[in-house]
Amino acid sequence: CSKEELANAVGQQLQADEGGVSRFGAMAVALKQISGDYVMLTPPYVALLCRTFITLEGMLGDDPEMASFNIYEVALPFAISRVLSPGTLRGKASLRGALLREGKGPAMPNWQALASLMEDEKHEDAGAGADTFGAQAGV
C-alpha cells in the first residue's frame, strides 16, 4: 500500500479511539487493530520503547494531573529536531532536496516547497487537511 493509505488508516483509527490523539497506548492499540490489513515490521528497540511508554502511561493513569497530558505535544519539539537533523547521508540529502533548490551557484531555498508546507498547515488548522505523515521510508 502507499504511505498515504497507511497514514489515513492509522489516522482514522486514532480518531476513532478514546485518547487516540493524546495517549501512546492508544496508538499501540490502533496499530494492533489495523495490523491484519497491513504488514508492519517493527525493530525490537521500537517495541521496547512502546512497552516503556505504555507502562509509564499505565502508572500515571489514575493521576488527576495527568488527565490533560498529551504525549505527542511533549514529544513534538524533540521529533522536529530529529526530523531537521537527519543522521544518515540519505536523510540529509532528502531534507536538503526538499528544502533547497540546487543549481549553478549556492543552494537557494525552495520557496515553493516551503510555501506549500505553510499552505498545508493552514488547511490542517481549518480542519480541511487529511491525517497524513510526510515521512520517507528509510530516512
Which tops the pLDDT comparison, 124 or 65? Answer: 65
Which tops the pLDDT comparison, 129 or 35? Answer: 35
Res 139 pLDDT > 70: no
Q: How do residues 51-93 score in pLDDT, each as one tens digit?
A: 888 887 777 777 777 777 777 788 888 888 888 888 899 988 8
For cell 547521508, the residue is: 89
Ramachandran area for residue 136 (φ above 0: left; ψ -120 to 50: alpha; else beta)? beta
Res 36 pLDDT > 70: yes
Please give the pLDDT value at position 122.
Answer: 61
Q: Which residues pair with 108 in a beta bridge?
A: 101
Q: How far apart are CA 94 and CA 126, in angstroms?
A: 29
Instruction: Tell me the whole-structure pTM to 2 decimals.
Output: 0.48
